[in-house]
Amino acid sequence: MRRRQQKRHRPAAERRDANAAPILVQIEKPVYGGAFLARAEGRAIFAPLTLPGEQARVRLVEEKRGYAFAEPEEIVSAAAERVAPRCPHFGACGGCDYQHAEYDAQLRFKQAILRETLERAGIRAPDRIDVVAAEPWAYRNRIRLAFDAGGNVGYRGRWSHAIVAIRECPIAAPVLANAAKAIEAHFRGMDRNKRPAEISLFCNADESALLATVITASATKARAEDFAHAISERVAALRGVEFVTEGIAGRQPQTATRWGERSLAYRAAGFDYRVDHGAFFQVNRRLVDALAERVTAGRSGKLAWDLFAGVGLFARKLAGAFERVEAVESAGAAIPSLEENLRGTGAEAVSASVLEFVERSGGGERPDLIVVDPPRTGLGPEITSRLGEMAAPQMTYVSCDPATLARDLKALLAHGYAIERVALFDLFPQTFHLETVVDLNRA
C-alpha cells in the first residue's frame, strides 16, 4: 500500500514546562506509533526510546486528560534486549523507532501490537501469527530527502518537521545513501532559494538502476540536465530524473521536465516490472518476493480482483492462475506501469477509484478472489460494505495499519467472512510500521 512516512508531531502550545522535574516510571509494553507504555500519577505515559521491563526517568512534554507524552532522560535499569543503535542519528531522526532493541525483540513487539489491536476490536486473532522477516539493514529501496538551512540533506526529525542532517542511513540501500551524498555536494554551494524542497530516490532490488524525483518551485530542462549529469558522474546507476513543481492550493504537483528514462525495471516475484517515477512499489527489496508469494500462492479460478493494484505486483502473478484478472488503480503515476506490466496476459488494468469500480460492478460476475492493498486509511465503511455484499469466496487483505485493518476486518466478519490465517511481514525493520496479510474465507 501507499506508505508515506507518518509524521508524529505535537502542537507547541500543548507542551509541558521544559523545566519540570523528571519522574521515575516502569515501562510495561510497546504501543503502536513507536512509544512504550508506562503508568504514573493515575495516567498512561507514552515514552519513546525505552523498552519493556526498564525503569526510566522521563520528562513529561505534553499532557492530555488521562495520558501524557514523555521523553526519556535516563535509563535507570536497562532491559536485556537493549543494544547500541547502529545509526548515529537515531533518536533525533524520525525515520527509526526501534534501533535500540534487538531485532528478535522488535518482531515480538510488533506481534504483540497486532494481536492486541485485533482483540481490542473484538477480533480473536489466530493462535499462530506467521512472522516473515529478512535482513533488517540496508533494505529500503526508496528514501525521501530534504535540506536544512546549511544545504545538508536529511530526514524529518522525530516529533517535528525540522530537518536532521544525516551522514549515513543504515536502513537504506547503499546506492541511495551514495546518491544522497552526491546530491548534497551538488546543491551545497547554491543559494537556498535554488535548492529543491525535497528529493525522492528509488532503486531496483539489485541497485543497478536509480530514479530521482526532484520536488521544486520551478524547473527548466537545462537545470534538470545539469543536475542529472552532476549526479550520474558519481552514481552510475542513475537512469532518470524528474523535476516536479510543487502544487498550489487545489492543484496536484506537475511534472515540469525530465531527463533520461521515465521508469526502471524491477525484478521481483519472477517478473520484470516497469515502475515509473512516483509509482508505488513495496519498499523492502528483500521481502517483495515473499509477500507476492503469500498473497497469490494456491489461488486459482475464473476471475480475480486486485484492488489498489499499484503497478501490478499481485495482478501479474494472479494472471497465471485465473482466466481473468481486473487490476484497479487510480494513481496516475502507476497507470502506465500497470498497463505495461499486464500487457499480453489475461489481466486488465482498470483506471478508476476502488469505490467507483465496486459500485459499478455490483450485480455483475462475482470474483473468486479479491485482493485489497489499501492505503493507511484502510478500506472504509463504503468499500467494506460493498465487498461484503459481493461475497467473494476468498479475500486477502494486505494492510500496513493495524487499527484500520481491525476496523475493516470487524465489518467483513459481520458480512460472513472468517479469518483463515494471518501473517506479519516486517517490511519496515527498525521502525514501528508493520505489514499484515490476512486471508479470509466465506464462513
Same domain? 302 vs 434:
yes
Which of residues 44, 61, 82 is at a domain's end?
82
Residue 443 vs residue 106, higher pLDDT: 106
Is 379 domain-assigned?
A: yes
Q: What is the pLDDT of residue 190?
A: 86
How does pLDDT run across 154-163, given as a tens digit for each residue? Answer: 999 988 889 9
DSSP character for 101? B
In angstroms, the CA 191 to CA 345 distance is: 50
Confidence of residue 178 (pLDDT cuts 50, 70, 90): very high
CATH number for the domain harbouring residue 62: 2.40.50.140
422, 438 contact by CB (below 8 A): yes
Is 165 domain-assigned?
A: yes
CATH number for the domain harbouring residue 178: 2.40.50.1070
Is 259 domain-assigned?
A: yes
How does pLDDT run across 257-305, given as a tens digit for each residue? Answer: 999 999 999 999 999 999 999 999 999 999 999 999 999 999 999 999 9
Residue owning grid cell 543503535 = 85
Q: What is the pLDDT of residue 254?
A: 86
Type and span of the H or E element at 405: helix 402-414
Same domain? 173 vs 49:
no
Same domain? 323 vs 400:
yes
Inform me whether the pLDDT recorded for 253 exceeds 90.
no
27, 72 contact by CB (below 8 A): no
Inform me whether the pLDDT recorded for 153 exceeds 80.
yes
Residue 433 vs residue 19, higher pLDDT: 433
Q: What is the pLDDT of residue 76?
A: 98
Residue 255 vs residue 174, higher pLDDT: 174
Q: What is the pLDDT of residue 19?
A: 64
Is 49 domain-assigned?
A: yes
DSSP character for 203? E
Three cell numbers at 76? 535507570
Same domain? 416 vs 306:
yes
CATH number for the domain harbouring residue 350: 3.40.50.150
Same domain? 366 vs 329:
yes
Q: What is the pLDDT of residue 10?
A: 46
How does pLDDT run across 395-407, given as a tens digit for each residue? Answer: 999 999 999 999 9
Is 96 domain-assigned?
A: no
SS3 170: coil
Q: What is the pLDDT of residue 4?
A: 41
How does pLDDT run across 90-134, given as a tens digit for each residue? Answer: 999 999 999 999 999 999 999 999 999 999 999 999 999 999 999
Q: What's the number of domains the chain is made of?
A: 3
Is 93 domain-assigned?
A: no
Q: What percent of the chain stands above pLDDT 90? A: 87
Beta-strand pair 43-48/35-40: antiparallel
**pTM of the full structure:** 0.94
Which residues span the domain enclosing 200?
Answer: 142-266
Residue owning grid cell 503515476 = 333
Is 17 domain-assigned?
A: yes
Three cell numbers at 120? 481490542
How does pLDDT run across 199-247, given as a tens digit for each residue? Answer: 999 999 999 999 999 999 888 899 999 999 999 999 999 999 999 997 6
Inform me whether the pLDDT recorded for 16 exceeds 80.
no
Inform me whether the pLDDT recorded for 322 exceeds 90.
yes
In angstroms, the CA 223 to CA 244 distance is: 12
In angstroms, the CA 171 to CA 34 distance is: 17
Same domain? 293 vs 436:
yes
Q: Name, in order, each residue with C-beta under 8 angstroms of 78's C-beta and a sequence gap of 6 or more.
A: 51, 54
